[in-house]
Structure 1
Amino acid sequence: KDGARVIGHGRHDAEGVVGADLADPAAADRLWDLALARLDGRIDVLINNAGVFEAVAVDAPLPDWHGAWARTLQINLQACADLSRRAILHWRERGQGGRIVNIASRAAYRGDSPAHWHYAASKAGMVAMTKSIARGFAAEGVLAFAICPGFTMTGDAGDYLASRGGDKLLADIPLGRVADPAEVAAAAVWLALEAPASLTGAVLDINGASFVR
């Protein structure tokens, strides 16, 4: 509705969607090339939103522990870095600026469960990378922002709350409810299209005041 042409990412190709499994170290580079071709050789905004939230116990066998860390860091952080790298090189080649919006997590600041160290670490890495990009490439017109959502209602309300502790979860959120995906999307669109350039490097929290920095 704002006149942007959008290419999404998913597990499989579809209309307006490029399929790629970001667990494959080469997938992010292919994803960029395919999206660039569909957008006639020009991309102005990159939103890194793909991620996994998969548990691994501290007493898991070492190969399982290493595998969980490697998979989470590859999908949540390395692929994000690879796509951001391609974006910066693309904008440098075109002699233009661009915007990167990274969807991190409240876990980047307050940590996560005993089974999700790797998830929290990957999201903290996204925040640090966002700030590094903002500081390192602002002079080239590259702006970088991050969003740190708390719990977000991404499925059936009852199932979602039950899987995350139910009333105990809500008791930890002063707003009294988890975020709606549209709230996160609204922030992403604003950062992608309207936020002032001087805001580069900023991190926006969307968590109902469950964690206040």
Structure 2
Amino acid sequence: MTTPFPPTGRRVLVSGASRGLGRALAQAFAANGDRVAVHFGSRREEAEQTLGSLAGAGHLLAGGDLSTPEGASAVAEAVHLGLGGIDVLVNNAAVNLPHPLATTPYQDWAKTWQDHVSVNLLATANLSHLAAHRMIAQGGGGRIVNVGSRGAFRGEPDHPAYGATKAAVHALGQSLAVHLAPHGIAVASVAPGFFATERVAHRLSGEEGEAILAQSPFGRVGSAEEIAAAVLWLASPAAEWASGTVLDLNGASHLRT
């Protein structure tokens, strides 16, 4: 007899949770009563700040390089042992470096693409495999939510590898949604537009900032907390029927048909 997917008190892995959206995601799940593994790659000090900001108890740090299969496996194993299992995976870790084709030397272009594919796509695929196998063994279902991007649909002229890998993440999520449904595991993605974090705060001033704000008819950008709230819902027991969806979170700045 399987154990029903719990509404709270879940064991949650958030990749790339040292700052920005990852921090907001970890805080949202902790406030929901869940226990959170805060993953970080190299920003341990910031990850510790995230950990210290979480409500409740039983959270942990999980450092590791997700760009290799071995690194992803080590992170998943550490989280599984530290939390006693994995009920929810949020694939948030990502690389987003500018590389406009016309001005980027070929060697830099090729390396940038490799870096984006390794982290944005392959780490997502590998963590999904590792977490889903644990969810299946646990027997109680689970949730996987991928953080994609509006750029997968609108295009990213200065960040083409980012847009392409996020489109692949959306497709991966839909494939896994069909495959994992018989195991009670729902898989969905969010596709945020521009949202404010400390990393992009400098872009919101001057003429560039005005242009970014004007992308949405609301005249503003999103917040990390708004994205986190949507992810929290998609990871909830109530959202099983949303499995396979790619949820646009862009303030009507880009409308798909």
Q: TM-score, normalised by structure 2?
A: 0.77
Match of 2:79 in 1: 35
Matched, 1:141 2:184: yes
Q: Distance in 2 between matches of 1:159 and 1:124?
A: 26
Structure 2: which amino acid aligns with 1:2?
A: N
Please say if residues 88 and 235 of structure 2, whose CA atoms lie closer than 8 Å, have aligned partners that are also in contact.
Answer: yes
Please say if residues 153 and 160 of structure 1, whose CA atoms lie closer than 8 Å, have aligned partners that are also in contact.
Answer: no
Q: Distance in 2 between matches of 1:157 and 1:124?
A: 22
Match of 1:22 in 2: 66
Which stretch of structure 1 is more off in the superposition, 89-98 or 132-141? 89-98
Q: Distance in 2 between matches of 1:63 and 1:151?
A: 29
Please say if residues 69 and 126 of structure 2, whose CA atoms lie closer than 8 Å, have aligned partners that are also in contact.
Answer: no
- Is the partner of 1:26 in helix, strand or coil? helix
Match of 2:248 in 1: 205
Alignment of 1:1-213 (within 5 A): 1-11=31-41, 12=44, 14=48, 16-40=60-84, 42-59=85-102, 60-113=104-157, 115-155=158-198, 159-162=202-205, 165-213=208-256
* Number of equivalences: 211
Are residues 151 and 89 of structure 1, via their aligned partners in 2, closer, same or farther at CA, if it must alter by over 3 Å?
same
Instruction: Please report how far the alpha carbon of residue 187 of structure 1 lies from its aligned counterpart in structure 2 after TM superposition.
Output: 0.6
- Is the partner of 2:219 in helix, strand or coil? coil
Render the CA deviation track for 1:142-174: whole Å, top value 9, x for unaligned: 100101100010028852314992111112211
Structure 2: which amino acid aligns with 1:201?
A: G
- Is the partner of 1:81 in helix, strand or coil? helix
- Is the partner of 1:166 in helix, strand or coil? helix
Which stretch of structure 1 is more off in the superposition, 65-74 or 151-160? 151-160
Please say if residues 25 and 74 of structure 1, whose CA atoms lie closer than 8 Å, have aligned partners that are also in contact.
Answer: no
Render the CA deviation track for 1:104-161: whole Å, top value 9, x for unaligned: 0001111112x21100001001100110011111111110010110001002885231
Q: Percent identity?
A: 38
- Is the partner of 2:169 in helix, strand or coil? helix
Instruction: Please report how far the alpha carbon of residue 194 of structure 1 lies from its aligned counterpart in structure 2 after TM superposition.
Output: 4.0
Q: Distance in 1 between matches of 2:199 and 2:118?
A: 28
- Is the partner of 1:195 in helix, strand or coil? helix
Which stretch of structure 1 is more off in the superposition, 195-204 or 63-72? 195-204
Instruction: Please report how far the alpha carbon of residue 81 of structure 1 lies from its aligned counterpart in structure 2 after TM superposition.
Output: 0.4
Q: Distance in 2 between matches of 1:89 and 1:70?
A: 27
Task: Could you list the structure 1 runs, at least 4 aligned residues long, displaced by more than 3 angstroms after superposition.
Answer: none
- Is the partner of 1:196 in helix, strand or coil? helix
CA RMSD of aligned residues (A): 1.9
> Structure 1, unaligned stretches of length 5 or more?
none
Are residues 68 and 25 of structure 1, via their aligned partners in 2, closer, same or farther at CA, if it must alter by over 3 Å?
farther
> Structure 2, unaligned stretches of length 5 or more?
1-30, 52-59
